[in-house]
Amino acid sequence: MGYVTSIAGGFKTLVTGLGVTVKELFKKPVTLQYPHEKPELSPAYRSLIKLIRFDELGTHDCVACMQCVNICPSYCIKIEGGKVEGIKRKRATLFEVDFALCSVCGLCIDTCPTTTLEYSRLYDEAGYDRNWTYDLLAEYRDYEPEFREKQREVEAKEAAEREAKKEAAAKAKAAAEAKKKAAEKTPEKGDGDKKGGDA
């Protein structure tokens, strides 16, 4: 009798389990079939930092000010750069981040004066060694010579316009002073008549 009861109990458990399985079988899956399906990332999603490409520049706008290097609590950012001939602003020549150390705190983004840093949308980075140092300028190096040439032309044009305005202002000022001096030398109307009448 105990044997039959045991079998009946086991069968009941089996049916209960199958019932749960069948019921869940027709529900919408809550898991993502990665990598065949891509996840929908939240706007607040944070990942590795990256440089922003500005349409008007065609490249990034990092001026190697070192503010992100100075504020980084993980000491994971390394930047090199300096003045470029014919361009007023400095340009970064090296921008490396060790993402093995980066805590994705965002202080570098907050302190960037040219707002050229943001969080990337990467979510599936994988590595096969311990080197997690990324060169953020890698994708921009091909555009840098063209940017520098255009920037030189723009700044040269702006300098020429400023010089032309300065010369025009100087000429206008000189003309106004000459007119004022001429007016001071010319006697007022009626002065001769008054003198003649007095005599």
Q: Half-sphere exposure of residue 101, counting CA atoms within 13 Å on the CB side? A: 13
Q: Which residue from 92, 70, 87 is spatially nearest to 151, judged by alpha carbons?
A: 87
How do the pLDDT tens digits run along the chain, 199 residues long? 677 888 888 888 999 989 888 888 888 878 888 888 888 888 889 898 999 999 988 899 999 999 999 999 999 999 999 998 888 889 999 999 999 999 999 999 999 999 999 999 888 888 788 889 999 999 999 999 999 999 888 888 888 888 889 888 888 888 888 888 888 776 655 555 555 445 4
The CA distance from 89 to 94, in Å, is 16
Q: How many Cβ atoms sit within 10 Å of the Cβ of residue 6?
A: 10
Q: What is the CATH number of domain 49-149?
A: 3.30.70.3270
Q: In the prediction, which pLDDT does 199 show?
A: 43
Q: Which ranges constitute the DSSP H helices of the chain? A: 2-25, 67-71, 107-111, 144-185, 191-198
Q: What is the pLDDT of residue 1?
A: 67
Write the burial class of residue 152 (CB in 10 Å: 0-12 exposed, 13-18 middle, 19+ buried).
middle
Residue 140: its pLDDT value, please? 93
